[in-house]
Structure 1
Amino acid sequence: MTNFFDFAISQLPAATADRRVPAPDEIDAMICKDSFAAVLRLLAGSFISLYEGSPEMTALFATRRSRLLCHALLALYFQKSAAGEGEIALTREDFGHQALRHGLASHSVAYAFFKEALKRGLIRPASPAQGQAAGVVPSPPALAMLAQWYDVHFQALDLLDEGFRASRFIERADVVVPHIHPLVSSAFLSHPEVRCPGPLSIIFNWFDAGGLLMDRLIAGIDGENPTEQGRRFTDIQTVTQLATSLSLSRIHVGRKLAAAELIGGIGWSGRRGRSALWISQGFYEEYARTQARKLLILDEILIGFV
C-alpha cells in the first residue's frame, strides 16, 4: 500500500504552486486577535462534540489523511450532482481517479478508504430505484454532520468580528453546502499549510485518532493560567485521563505522547501523572495557523453564497 505521507508531501498537484494563498500577515492578524484563543477552544471543543455524537462515522475525520479523503469524497459527489440530473451515485473507481489526480492517495489507498467510509456510514449504497445500485451516495447523517462542521467554523468567524455568517448559513445550509464544498475541498487540497502538518504536530496528524488528541489538548488549555516559558498548560494530568475521554487505548495514546514529548511538543509541569500536561508554544502555533488558514479560506468562499 502506498504511503499517504509520501503523496501528501511529494505529489501536491501542480495547481498548488499557482494558487493564490492568503498573505502571512492575514494569518498573523487573525491569531493576534484577543478572541482567537476562544475561537480555537470553540473549534477544538466542537470537533470533540461531533466525534462524541457519532464516533463511528466521525472517526474518519480523526487524522489529517482521512479528513482530506472525506472532504474529497463528499466534494466529488456534489460535483457530479451539479453536472448531472437528479441524485448521482459514486463508484470507488470515481473516487480512486479523484484521489490520484490530486496526488492524495494511490488507487489502493483510496479503495480501502472507500470501503471504510461505507462501513462507517459516511456513504451508503444508492437506491435501486435510482438505477444506480452499483454506486453510493452520502448518508443523511453525513450530510447533517457536514452542515454542523460548517456551522461551527462560521460561528468561529463570527466570534472574531461579531458577524452573522452562522445564522445566515443555517437558513440556507441545504443549498449552500453543495455549492461551496467542492470549492472548499479544492482549496484545502491545494494549500500546503492545510494539507501538510508542521514538524511538531506531524506526530499526531498521521496516526489513528491523532487529530482528536490534538483537539482535546487544545480544548483543554487553561485560559486562566498564563503561558510560561513557551508552555501552555492543559486540564490533562494523566495518559489514562486523555485516553478515557476519547475512548482510546491507553497504550496507543501513551506511545504518541511519548513521541511528542521526545521532540519537545508536550510535557508535564511536574511529576508525570500528578501535574498538568503542557503543550509547547510551537505546537500551539502550528495548530492555530492551520485553523486560521481554514477560516480564511471558508470566509473567502462563503462570500456571495449567504
Structure 2
Amino acid sequence: MTNFFDFAISRLPAATADCRRPAPGEIEAMLQKESFPAALRLLAGSFIALYEGSPEMTALFATRQSRLLCHALLALYFQKCGARETGTGEAVLTREDFGHLALRHGLASHSVAYAFFKEALKRGMTRPADRSGDGPDNGPGNGLGKGIVPSAPALAMLAQWYDVHFQALDLLDEGFRASRFIKRSEAMLPHIHPRVSQAFLSHPEVRCPGPLSIIFNWFDAGGLLMDQLIAGIDWERPTEQGRRLTDVETVTQLATSLSLSRIHIGRKLAAAELIGGIGWSGRRGRSALWISQGFYEEYARMQARKLLILNEAFIDFV
C-alpha cells in the first residue's frame, strides 16, 4: 500500500477544537471496568477480521494518517448530503474539497490528499459519481469529472465498524446499542459520523497517541500490527514484570498475516524493542513475543477514547 505520510499531524489545529471532550477521568474509569479487556479483545479481533474480509479497502485504515483521512472523507460526504437535503441530485466529493479539508485539519498536504483521493478510488472505497464516466482514463481526472461518492461496500464496512464498537460498549454495561444501531444504521450514520470524525481529530489519544503508536503507524499496516499483538495476548497468564506474553512466536508469522516482508516487520519490532515496548521471551524472533504494560495501556487508552466518543454521539442521536 502507498505510504502517504509526509505531513506532521502531531499538532491539533484550531479547526479541530472541540470543547466537549470527555474528561480524562472517564478514560480511567473505563479502563478499570472488569469487562474492558474483553471489549479490547473484541475490538482488536474484529479489526483483523474486517481486514481479512476486504484487505484492499480496509488497508486504507491500517495506518494512523490514512485512517483519519478515511474518516474525514466519509464525514465530508455525509455533511454534503445533509446540506443537499432540500436540493436535488447526488452529493459528490471533489479532490479539491478533500484537499482543502485535509490541509485545514493538518492531516496532509494537498498533494498527499490528492494521492489518497486517487488511492481510495483505486481500492474501491469510492466510485465515480458519474457512472457513465467509469474507466481508468476517461477524460480529465481519470473519469472523475463529476466527483466521487463512497461505494456501497465502503458504507457497509463503516456500518460494521460502528457495530463492532457498539458491541464493545455493550460489553461494558450490558447495553443494547449494537442492536439499536443495526436497525437504524442508514439513518444514524449520516448524523453521527461527521461528529465522530471531528472528535477523532480533536483528541490526542486518537490523533497523536504515544511513541509506540508513532513507530508502528509510520509504515503500511502498522495499526493492524498493533491489533495483532493485542489480539494475541495470552489473557490467562498474569502480567509479569510489566510484560504481557502473546501468541506471536516469529517475525514470519506477523509478516505473513499482514502480507509484508520479514525485513519490514523486523525493523519496526526492533525500533519498538529499543524503547522497551516489545521483546522476546527467549531467542529473538524464535520465541513468544511480549508487549510491555506501556504498549498495552497506550493502545487501551486510544480505544477507550474512541468508545467514549462513539457513546456520546450515540446518546445524542437517540
TM-score (norm 2): 0.91
Counterpart for residue 117 of structure 2: 114
**Residue 96 of structure 2 aligns to which amino acid in structure 1?**
E
**Structure 1 Cα separation of the partners of residues 275 and 8 of structure 2:** 24
3-state DSSP of counterpart to 1:105: coil
3-state DSSP of counterpart to 2:181: helix
Counterpart for residue 224 of structure 1: 236
Q: CA deviation at 1:272?
A: 2.1
3-state DSSP of counterpart to 1:278: strand
Contact 1:35 1:160 in 2 (8 A): yes
Pick from 129, 153, 157 the counterpart of residue 169 of structure 2. Answer: 157
Aligned: 1:124 with 2:127: yes
**Structure 2 Cα separation of the partners of residues 248 and 40 of structure 1:** 25
Counterpart for residue 21 of structure 1: 21
**Structure 2 Cα separation of the partners of residues 122 and 213 of structure 1:** 22
- 1:129-144 alignment, distance < 5 Å: 133-144=145-156
**Structure 2 Cα separation of the partners of residues 18 and 148 of structure 1:** 26
Contact 1:19 1:190 in 2 (8 A): no
**Structure 2 Cα separation of the partners of residues 196 and 158 of structure 1:** 27
Q: CA deviation at 1:6?
A: 4.8
Q: CA deviation at 1:200?
A: 2.3
**Structure 2 Cα separation of the partners of residues 5 and 232 of structure 1:** 33
* Structure 1 unaligned blocks of 5 or more: none
* Structure 2 unaligned blocks of 5 or more: 134-143
**Structure 2 Cα separation of the partners of residues 140 and 128 of structure 1:** 14
Counterpart for residue 38 of structure 1: 38
**Residue 76 of structure 2 aligns to which amino acid in structure 1?**
L
**Residue 23 of structure 1 aligns to which amino acid in structure 2?**
A
Counterpart for residue 101 of structure 1: 104
**Structure 2 Cα separation of the partners of residues 242 and 234 of structure 1:** 12
**Structure 2 Cα separation of the partners of residues 154 and 270 of structure 1:** 39
Counterpart for residue 197 of structure 2: 185
Counterpart for residue 69 of structure 1: 69
**Structure 1 Cα separation of the partners of residues 92 and 99 of structure 2:** 14
1:234-282: CA deviation from partner (whole Å, max 9, x where unpaired): 0001000111122222111111111111111100111223321000000
Contact 1:176 1:305 in 2 (8 A): yes
CA RMSD of aligned residues (A): 1.7
**Structure 1 Cα separation of the partners of residues 195 and 59 of structure 2:** 23
Distance change >3 Å, CA 272–CA 108, structure 1 → 2: same
Counterpart for residue 92 of structure 1: 95
1:165-201: CA deviation from partner (whole Å, max 9, x where unpaired): 0000000001101111000000101112210020222
Q: CA deviation at 1:62?
A: 0.3
Aligned: 1:235 with 2:247: yes
Distance change >3 Å, CA 128–CA 276, structure 1 → 2: closer
Contact 2:80 2:91 in 1 (8 A): yes
**Residue 62 of structure 1 aligns to which amino acid in structure 2?**
A
Distance change >3 Å, CA 125–CA 16, structure 1 → 2: closer
Taking only the aligned residue pairs, the percentage that are identical comes to: 81
- 1:270-289 alignment, distance < 5 Å: 270-289=282-301
Task: Kindly tell me the number of residue pairs found equivalent between the two proteins.
Answer: 302
Counterpart for residue 136 of structure 2: none
Q: CA deviation at 1:68?
A: 0.1
Contact 2:99 2:114 in 1 (8 A): yes
Contact 2:15 2:105 in 1 (8 A): no
